[in-house]
Amino acid sequence: MEYRIMCWWVAPFFVAAGDVDWDAVEAALRRFSESTGRDDRVALRERLLSSPLYRQRPSASVQAAPHAASASGGVKELEGQGNSSTALVPAGEPQSASAPHASPSAGRDIVPGPPLRVTAVTPETRLLDAVRERIRLKHYSIRTEHAYLGWIERFMLAFRHRHPRDLGGVEVEQFLTALAVHGRVAASTQAQALSALLFLYREVLGVDLPWLENVTRAKAPRRLPVVLDRAEIRRLLNQLDGRNWLMASLIYGTGMRLMECVRLRIKDVDFSRLEITIRDGKGAKDRMTMLPGSLVEPLTREIARVRDEHREDLAAGFGEVYLPHALERKYLSAARDPAWQYVFPAAKRSLDPRSGRERRHHLDEQVLQRAVRTAVRAAGIVKLATCHTLRHSFATHLLESGYDIRTVQELLGHSDVATTQIYTHVLNRGAGGVLSPLDR
């Protein structure tokens, strides 16, 4: 159980109906933290329960619980060890219904109550909720949502929780410069932070930031992709088995990205035409790629196993899968349709982070990442190979076989052929195709 407690200068702002001045609550808790030099929940509970100025009342009638701002800019509950839930009210307050902090139950003995979980409504949470709504309105992925919210929280924390509307281009430049100079982050990380802050100001606050010309930019390195030769690919795949082998073989045999592989649905596999449709890839684009003939039989067996598992879920009263955007409302039975199920589902059902409904999501991509990392070591490969290395190897081996670079560009889903041209470093062009004068 949890204790719901409030420090003595927070209590006057408490209302049993849940109408709390959370700005005052946050300010009071911050003053308490600064005055004690500690942010320990147990110490806070012990100090308040020992205060002679207050008496306790049962929290069963309490409709809201205080929260304290966490170090990450969010909110956290003040919890202690025990088996009851209590709140504190001033000892000398009149017990009148008209009093903003009065309670008819004040002065009674402590009565255990169920834990209450109510998120404090602070300016920070209101702003983050607005950002979250705007992100979902524009149909950004949940990964982008988490990344943007994280950067916005770090930005507010860096300036002592000042509202971004009170900040501007100078503070944004200082934050981004600190990331590069003191944090020594990669260029892509700094660019992601900039994108999150631009989204906050332009899309949520309606403010156009000036040109950020004084930002110290993290230098973006131009690296060549790691590529495995065909013998190394065979050694790597021989160290895998079961579903991990099938997924790694699909990535190498089709050139799809890791997340495109784990999000593959049954309806997008066409065995008759030996084609796979990749939906909502990078940049929200669809594309077609080939289905290797050698994977038809193992993929057919895997889909049959998924169908059996889906029937068991349906019999247990579940069987739904996540559908993008408004498809779930438009096609009411599609979420239970076998065609929409993931080819590589998770071993257990889980709660959808947005809807809260229990569903069977796709396999966690880290499962394959760990398996490939272990297989690389077991195969004796000294290159820093990952799942994405299989995609690099797919493109390189196609170009080595004489396929047109435009064809490879379409299969990879690159918007610009210049991105695909980086794989020409292994062809008879560039450094790989030049005979050193020392060998002449």
Domains and CATH numbers, the chain: 11-119 (no CATH), 124-204 (1.10.150.130)
Return the pLDDT at 66. Answer: 38
Active site annotation includes 414: yes
Active site annotation includes 423: yes
Return the pLDDT at 173. Answer: 87
Phi, psi of 185 (to 5 degrees): -80, 165
Active site annotation includes 331: no
User: Which residue of the set 4, 257, 265, 287 is catalytic?
Assistant: 257
Quote the distance between the C-alpha of residue 176 and its chain's center.
21
Return the pLDDT at 10. Answer: 41
DSSP-assigned letter for residue 203? I
Taking only the tens of pLDDT, the chain with its 440 residues reads 333 334 433 443 343 334 445 555 555 555 555 554 444 444 554 554 444 433 333 333 333 333 333 333 333 333 333 333 333 333 344 443 333 444 433 443 433 444 434 444 456 678 888 999 899 888 888 889 999 999 999 998 888 888 888 888 888 888 988 888 888 888 889 889 999 999 999 889 888 877 776 677 777 777 788 999 999 999 999 999 999 999 999 999 999 999 999 999 999 999 999 999 999 888 788 999 999 999 999 999 999 999 999 999 999 999 999 988 778 788 888 999 999 999 999 999 998 877 888 999 999 999 999 999 999 999 999 999 999 999 999 999 999 888 989 999 999 999 888 888 888 765 655 555 566 676 76
DSSP letter for each residue of 206-262: ---PPP--S--PPP----PPP---HHHHHHHHHT--HHHHHHHHHHHHH---HHHHH
Active site annotation includes 310: no
- Name the 3-class secondary structure at 286: coil
Contact by Cβ (8 Å): 78, 48: no
CA atoms within 13 A on the CB side of 399: 25
Angle, alpha carbons 417-419-424 (nearest 5°): 85
**CA neighbor of 197 nearest in space, from 151, 243, 136:** 151
Return the pLDDT at 255. Answer: 93
CA distances from 337 to 140, 304, 359 (A): 25, 14, 13
Query: Which ranges of 69-168 would DSSP assign to H, the alpha helix?
Result: 123-137, 142-158
Return the pLDDT at 23. Answer: 58
**How many CB atoms are located within 10 Å of the residue 96 CB?**
9
- Name the 3-class secondary structure at 272: coil
User: Which residue of the set 30, 282, 349, 373 is catalytic?
Assistant: 282
Return the pLDDT at 26. Answer: 57
DSSP-assigned letter for residue 356? -
337 contacts: CB under 8 Å, gap ≥ 6:
none
Active site annotation includes 282: yes
Distance CA 438, CA 440 (A): 6
User: Which residue of the set 55, 161, 336, 388 is catalytic?
Assistant: 388
Residues counted in the chain = 440
CA distances from 365 to 53, 205, 344, 362, 371 (A): 55, 35, 10, 9, 10
Distance CA 198, CA 324 (A): 26
234-243 long-range contacts (CB < 8 A, ≥24 apart) are 235/379, 235/380, 235/381, 236/372, 236/375, 236/376, 236/379, 236/381, 236/385, 237/375, 238/379, 239/374, 239/375, 239/378, 239/379, 240/371, 240/372, 240/375, 243/302, 243/344, 243/363
